[in-house]
Amino acid sequence: MNENEIVVLKHLNEIGKISDDFRQEAKNLNLSQSTYASAAESLVSKQLATKKINITQSYQITARAENYLKVKLPETQLLNAVSRGAKTLQEVIKDTKMNGAEVNVALGIAIKNKLVITKKENNQLIIEKNTLENPVEIVFEKISKNEKLDSHHQEYLKVLLERQLIALSEYEEIRHSITVLGKQTIKDLKNSKTQISQLTPTMLKDGSWKDADFRPYDLTTVATPMQTIAKKHPYKEFLNRIRYCLSGLGFREVDSSLIELEFWNMDALFMPQDHPAREIHDVFRISNPAVGQIADEKIYSKVYDAHLFGGNTGSTGWKYKMKKEISSRILARSHDTGISARELAKNQNVPDRVFFISKAFRPDQIDWKHFIEFNQLGGYIADENITLSDLLGILELFAKEVFNAKKVKFAPNYFPFTEPSVEIYADIPGRGWSEVGGAGMFRPEMLSALGIEHPVAAWGLGIDRLAMLSIGANDIRQLHSQDLDFLKGKNGRMD
Amino acid sequence: MVSVIVDKNQLFKLANVKLNNAELEDALLSIKCSLEAQNAQTNQITIEVTGDRPDMLSVAGIARSLSGIFEKETGLAKQNYLPAKWKLIADEQALKIRPYIASAIVKNAKLNDSLIAEIFNQQEKVAHTLGRKRTKVSVGAWDIEGLVGPIHFRLADDSETFVPLKSNTTMNMEQTIATHQRGKEYGHLLPNGKYPVLADSKKNIIALIPITNSQHSSITTKTTEFGIDAEGTDFQAVNSALSLMCQDFIDLGFSVEKMTVVMPKQTIQTPDTQIRTMEIPLKYIEKRLGFALTFQTAIDCLKKTRLNAIKKNDNLQVQVPSYRSDFMHQADIVEEIALGYGLNNIKPNKLHTFTKGSLSETTLQENLYRDFFVGAGYLEVSNYVLTNSEINNKAKVQEELIEISNPISSDYHGLRTNLISGLLKTISENTHRSYPQKIFEVGKVVYHEPKLEEKIATGTNACCLSAHSQASLSEICSVLYELSLMKRAKLTLKPFNSPQFIENRACIVEWNGMKIGIAGEIHPQVLTDFKIEMPICTFEIKCII
């Protein structure tokens, strides 16, 4: 029972018999009608009280008739004027505040109800009173004062209704009375302290909390959803966990742009310009503008030489002349390896360990596991002594730390920018053996053109499928879901 | 990756192995292939081959590698060619268009439908990968029955006609370019009005190079002797294309006879089967692989990958057959050794140097803002960077999208320049959910930056958006107020009007006198266009200044 229910129950107990209408009782207890009603309703449902509903009819003075309560009905006004000595219509107009038209109407009613009689004298209408009082007026007043009506008043009620001076309204009275169980409860309450549902500042000030008995909660229903909640995005948090993991392993994060020159995206990676992976269906080209301006002519000419005859590496190269109009095309980054090329050109310290999480865009079918925009986790290790064995060690470490893999295996593969090239497979809980990415030692032709003579081991891993597993998404597009309930209800996790 | 379909039993027979599915899968992975699909009824399997190995675009090529890895047959493949009897005379005018040509004759061939299909498939794939869509190399095969030598490589004159492959109409070269499917596809490779052809001495046209062969000399199951040709712009590529086809026929048990190719300045025998040698210090191999190995181990590894090598002082002298075209640098030899050694037999090294790890400034800033917005009661959203102009137009965004010239979907034909429009779309997708809806995004946007070589810069923006019946500019500016305190920046708001916002209910946001963004109450027309029936206030600012 809450406090209000206790107050109402006690009140009903004091009354002892059936209460008045709840509106009146609410007033007596200084509670709002709705508070009283809901408390009483709750008592009824607990069988501590019963309720009785009475529908009563009553007559109410209509709005248009309210003024007559002060000045009396028109025919009464006329009757009174005549009683005071007025004889003609002019004299009645003078005596009352009614105008000619109103007096005419009043006279018509007064004659009809036999309050006055008229006769003609010297061509003038003379009014004489026929009764002392207007019975309609008496009933009208009784209704206004809510007094009881006698049976002989009924005919006047009809008149008042017809004249729309009163209206019939229905009224629902709800009365309550305490039950035996209620009375027992009161007794029990008296034996225990008051149950408190909420500690208040007042209780703290006056010390009444010391005597208070705090109402226990129903723990099966106390936990309910919040109306609104603010949360971080599960996919973004997933990416952050990877960042923390890699920075913990001694890798420094490098930023990347979404838009790239074809030179950095492809040429600088020793990918020949006629390479099948450079065709129009493998990259998104930008149209406004479509062409950029290569900034570093020195690097451009070294890359050009590498493609043509291998530069200074002893390689045969691709034996063709790079076209600048192809190199200068602007595209949406199609893979993350170009970021390595840019960073290697800029920063040639050794040892250096770099990583980046970057967006890549590629024309592809769109379905539950493919989308044309995705994230890649890439990076490299530049070190005078880095070897393929070191690279395999790093990849094994990533697979276990980042992908939570149980086992790792490697297979040879082909990428134009690495030699040897490695494909990584990991046995991931919940997913089984999966291809997780590619890696390799950057080709000497690529490195030399960027001014680097030490070996660099590089890798690029797909992370969106892993993110799906981590977030519990069954469609890759859910990683960027616009459904707010999904975002509120699902949390990123890494077991 | 290029996929080829082969008969599993034939593969096992040629490689002299018998494998279950799991073993086959692993074995293919170890030779840079992967098993893509199996047809249990026909025994046909689809195998993906990496783009650098055109010599493996056939059942014989894959079998050659498999037998090496299983040590059934190691070292260089046997190249027992018959001496040349046929002549091919290449004319100077034709060589101006395709500077190199090589050819050979296959004898004692036993062909069935599936082998013929495979030969055509291999030729297509070789011309596509090694041949770079026939620009660098094109290849062909033709029944020799009824042809009279020598074969000529020359330009056709206007009167000459033939029936192109898979056609039944006699036409001249010009008509072939205009009407034949291959003509339409590859006609652009030829200069106007010049048509190099292969023809016999009786003026029977064998092929229009590099477009199509003639129907009359097409290969059928009755064919026992046929010619193969390759021509293009790079001799090594042309020769390896021809060599790899010849090697396959030798491995299949047919005889291959070389061809005498007579050019204006020299006469050669093709294919040129000269073994190419590459010298590589053992030390270099060890430094790249990261473990010590003996000469003998290195040689054994190379033999398993169907190469050969001998020790020469401190170096390995590696022998590369003409059908292998994937050796540009010593590094390519190292990969072959790793492959022969088996990547999974290499012991991975643990990290042994110290470097300092760090997060990028962008990540640190992004996280600072994200923490703040979540603390302020906003739910994080992460929309795609790809978007479309409809969303931009509805949001009345002033800047144009960065457009993709070859989009594949009208929903995603450009890169976003702002975050507001995407978040309005998010709200419009959630009109059935309860309000208030308070969301934010910290994410990448692009904008024009002529100073950059790629002309378009990537920035990080932050956008907060609040949708409920009382949403107001003052509400959203309170968030900016608190954010400014955190960033220790002086916040100034200046009047701003744009069709995006209700007039006189938007502002420019400045920090320390520098414009960083805008804030405002979204215009009812914008809301109506997004079918949103709730007031929205928002701001978008640059996150990294």
Categorize the per-residue pLDDT at B545 as very low, low, confident or very high, splitting at 50, 70 and 90.
Answer: low
Q: Which of B200, B127, B188 is nearest to B162 (CA)?
A: B200
In this prediction, residue B283 carries a pLDDT of 95
User: SS3 string of B108-167?
Assistant: CCCCCHHHHHHHHHHHHHHHHCCCCCCCCEEEEEEECCCCCCCEEEEECCCCCEECECCC
Q: Which of A213-222, A261-270, B518-527 has the lowest mean pLDDT?
A: A213-222
Do A349 and A464 lie in one domain? The reply is yes
Q: Give all strands of the β-sheet with B33-39 in edge-to-edge order.
A: B2-7, B44-49, B33-39
Residue A432, chain B, CB below 8 Å: the answer is no
Range of the domain at B311: 276-341
Do B154 and B221 lie in one domain? The reply is yes
Structure tokens at B349: 């090294």
Q: Which of A134-138, A310-314, A442-446, B154-158 has the lowest mean pLDDT?
A: A134-138
Strand partners, A356: A378
* Nearest residue of chain A to residue B416 (CA atoms): A258
Asked whether residue A271 is domain-assigned, the answer is yes
pLDDT higher than 80, residue A279? no
Give A272's DSSP letter: -
In this prediction, residue B116 carries a pLDDT of 93
Which positions in chain B touch A275 (Cβ < 8 Å)? 51
Structure tokens at B441: 């995004």
Q: Give the nearest partner residue to A230 out of B132, B354, B377, using CB atoms.
A: B377
Asked whether residue A394 is domain-assigned, the answer is yes
Say if the Cβ atoms of B415 and A332 lie within 8 Å: yes
Say if the Cβ atoms of A285 and B405 lie within 8 Å: yes
Measured in angstroms, the CA of A33 and the nearest CA of chain B are apart by: 29
Which positions in chain A touch B53 (Cβ < 8 Å)? 414
Widest CA span of chain B, in angstroms? Answer: 94
Do A215 and A330 lie in one domain? The reply is no
Say if the Cβ atoms of A419 and B50 lie within 8 Å: no
Do A352 and A301 lie in one domain? The reply is yes
Widest CA span of chain A, in angstroms? Answer: 146
Asked whether residue A392 is domain-assigned, the answer is yes
Please count the CA atoms within 13 angstroms of the CA of B284 that sit on its side-chain side: 14
Range list of β-strands (E), B241-331: 255-262, 267-270, 276-281, 308-312, 315-320
Which positions in chain B touch A231 (Cβ < 8 Å)? 374, 379-380
Asked whether residue B81 is domain-assigned, the answer is no
Which of B225, B246, B270 lies at the terminal end of a domain, its last residue? B270
Do B42 and B140 lie in one domain? The reply is no
Q: To the nearest 10°, report the CA torsion of A385, A388, A393, A395.
A: 120
> Mean pLDDT across chain B, nearest whole number?
95
Percent of residues, chain A, with pLDDT higher than 70: 98
Which positions in chain B touch A412 (Cβ < 8 Å)? 30-32, 335, 338-339, 343
Q: Give the nearest partner residue to A414 out of B51, B380, B402, using CB atoms.
A: B51
Asked whether residue B356 is domain-assigned, the answer is no
Which pTM does this prediction carry? 0.79
* Nearest residue of chain A to residue B384 (CA atoms): A480
Asked whether residue A231 is domain-assigned, the answer is no
Please count the CA atoms within 13 angstroms of the CA of B207 that sit on its side-chain side: 25
Do B393 and B535 lie in one domain? The reply is yes
Asked whether residue A228 is domain-assigned, the answer is no
Do B97 and B126 lie in one domain? The reply is yes
Q: Rounded to whole angstroms, how far apart are CA atoms B171 and B394?
A: 57
Percent of residues, chain B, with pLDDT higher than 90: 92
Q: Which of B328, B427, B498, B335 is nearest to A391 (CA)?
A: B335
Which three-class secondary structure state does DSSP give residue A230?
Answer: coil
For the ranges A97-106, A201-210, A418-427, A477-486, the maximum mean pLDDT occurs at A418-427
pLDDT higher than 70, residue A157? yes
Domain of residue B205, CATH code: 3.50.40.10
Say if the Cβ atoms of A246 and B357 lie within 8 Å: yes
Which three-class secondary structure state does DSSP give residue A185?
Answer: helix
H or E element, residue A205? helix A201-206
Do A313 and A408 lie in one domain? The reply is yes
My answer on whether omega of the bond before A363 falls inside 30° of 0, hence cis, is: no
pLDDT higher than 80, residue A195? no
Instruction: Decide: B102 and B270 in contact? Cβ < 8 Å.
Output: yes
Say if the Cβ atoms of A411 and B456 lie within 8 Å: no
Do B171 and B206 lie in one domain? The reply is yes
Residues 6 or more apart whose Cβ sits within 8 Å of residue A19? A11, A12, A25, A175, A176, A177
Q: To the nearest 10°, report the CA torsion of B61, B63, B64, B69.
A: 130
Asked whether residue B347 is domain-assigned, the answer is no
What is the count of structural domains for chain A? 4
At A330-351, the pLDDT tens digits run: 999 999 999 999 999 999 999 9
What is the count of structural domains for chain B? 4
- Higher-pLDDT residue of B303 and A111 is B303
In this prediction, residue A193 carries a pLDDT of 63
Q: Tokens 């994937």 sit at which residue?
A: B326
Do B92 and B230 lie in one domain? The reply is yes
Which of B15, B40, B69 lies at the terminal end of a domain, its last residue? B69
Do A9 and A121 lie in one domain? The reply is no
Q: Give all strands of the β-sheet with B315-320 in edge-to-edge order.
A: B276-281, B315-320, B308-312
Mean local confidence (pLDDT), B239-245: 96
Do B104 and B24 lie in one domain? The reply is no
> Mean pLDDT across chain A, nearest whole number?
89
> CA quadruple B282, B288, B293, B298: dihedral positive or negative?
negative
Terminal-to-terminal C-alpha distance of chain A: 45
Strand partners, B414: B387, B403
Amino acid code (one letter) for B330: Q
Do B144 and B263 lie in one domain? The reply is yes
Q: Which of A5-19, B79-93, B247-261, B287-301 has the lowest mean pLDDT?
A: A5-19
Say if the Cβ atoms of A372 and B234 lie within 8 Å: no
Give A269's DSSP letter: G
- Higher-pLDDT residue of A183 and B286 is B286
Asked whether residue A227 is domain-assigned, the answer is no
My answer on whether omega of the bond before B150 falls inside 30° of 0, hence cis, is: yes
Which positions in chain A touch B359 (Cβ < 8 Å)? 243-244, 247, 253
Range list of β-strands (E), A325-431: 330-332, 352-361, 373-382, 407-412, 418-428
At B162-201, the pLDDT tens digits run: 999 988 899 999 999 999 999 999 999 999 889 999 999 9
Q: What is the radius of gyration, based on Cα positions, of chain A?
A: 48
Asked whether residue A229 is domain-assigned, the answer is no
Domain of residue A81, CATH code: 1.10.10.10
Do A291 and A421 lie in one domain? The reply is yes
Q: Which of A167, A211, A197, A218 is nearest to A58 (CA)?
A: A167
Domain of residue B20, CATH code: 3.30.56.10
pLDDT higher than 80, residue B544? no
Asked whether residue B34 is domain-assigned, the answer is yes
At B61-90, the pLDDT tens digits run: 999 999 999 999 999 999 899 999 999 999
* Nearest residue of chain A to residue B29 (CA atoms): A411
Asked whether residue B76 is domain-assigned, the answer is no
Asked whether residue B365 is domain-assigned, the answer is yes
At A121-131, the pLDDT tens digits run: 888 888 888 88
CA of B533: how far to CAs of B431, B433, B524, B529, in Å? 8, 12, 9, 10
Structure tokens at B21: 């599915």
Do B372 and B321 lie in one domain? The reply is no
Measured in angstroms, the CA of B339 and the nearest CA of chain A are apart by: 7
Instruction: Decide: A292 and A267 in contact? Cβ < 8 Å.
Output: no
pLDDT higher than 50, residue A369? yes
Q: What is the radius of gyration, based on Cα positions, of chain B?
A: 33
Measured in angstroms, the CA of A220 and the nearest CA of chain B are apart by: 25
Categorize the per-residue pLDDT at A474 as very low, low, confident or very high, splitting at 50, 70 and 90.
Answer: confident
Categorize the per-residue pLDDT at A430 as very low, low, confident or very high, splitting at 50, 70 and 90.
Answer: confident
H or E element, residue B246? helix B235-251
Q: How many CB atoms lie within 10 A of CB A390?
A: 22
Do A45 and A134 lie in one domain? The reply is no
Amino acid code (one letter) for B528: T
Residues 6 or more apart whose Cβ sits within 8 Å of residue B98? B138, B196, B209, B210, B231, B232, B233
Do A240 and A119 lie in one domain? The reply is no
Give B321's DSSP letter: -
Structure tokens at B523: 């215009």
Mean local confidence (pLDDT), A298-310: 97
For the ranges A11-20, A112-121, B357-366, the maximum mean pLDDT occurs at B357-366
Categorize the per-residue pLDDT at B528 as very low, low, confident or very high, splitting at 50, 70 and 90.
Answer: very high
Q: Rounded to whole angstroms, how far apart are CA atoms A377 and A238?
A: 12
Q: CA-based angle A19:A20:A24, to the nearest 5?
A: 125
Q: Supply φ then ψ for residue B269, to 5 degrees.
A: -105, 130
Asked whether residue A494 is domain-assigned, the answer is no
At B492-520, the pLDDT tens digits run: 999 999 999 999 999 999 999 999 999 99
Do A393 and A407 lie in one domain? The reply is yes
Q: Tokens 């292998």 sit at which residue?
A: B324
Give A322's DSSP letter: P
Instruction: Decide: B54 and B126 in contact? Cβ < 8 Å.
Output: yes
Range of the domain at A69: 63-164
pLDDT higher than 50, residue A41? yes
Instruction: Decide: A392 and A399 in contact? Cβ < 8 Å.
Output: no
Asked whether residue B203 is domain-assigned, the answer is yes
Which of B270, B288, B309 lies at the terminal end of a domain, its last residue? B270
Q: Which of B305, B117, B131, B135 is nearest to B221 (CA)?
A: B117
In this prediction, residue A494 carries a pLDDT of 38
Give A415's DSSP letter: B
Do A377 and A448 lie in one domain? The reply is yes
Q: Rounded to whole angstroms, how far apart are CA atoms B242 and B196?
A: 19
Which positions in chain A touch B29 (Cβ < 8 Å)? 411, 423
Do B65 and B123 lie in one domain? The reply is no
pLDDT higher than 80, residue B344? yes
Strand partners, B442: B462
Which positions in chain A touch B412 (Cβ < 8 Å)? 372-373
Which positions in chain A touch B136 (Cβ < 8 Å)? 274
CA of B478: how far to CAs of A218, B196, B424, in Å? 39, 77, 20
Do B64 and B120 lie in one domain? The reply is no
Asked whether residue B75 is domain-assigned, the answer is no
In this prediction, residue A6 carries a pLDDT of 86
Measured in angstroms, the CA of A465 and the nearest CA of chain B are apart by: 16
In this prediction, residue A493 carries a pLDDT of 44
Instruction: Decide: A427 and A407 in contact? Cβ < 8 Å.
Output: yes
Do B122 and B161 lie in one domain? The reply is yes
Residue by residue, DSSP assigns A424-460 as EEEEETTTEEEEEEEEEEEPHHHHHHTT--S-EEEEE
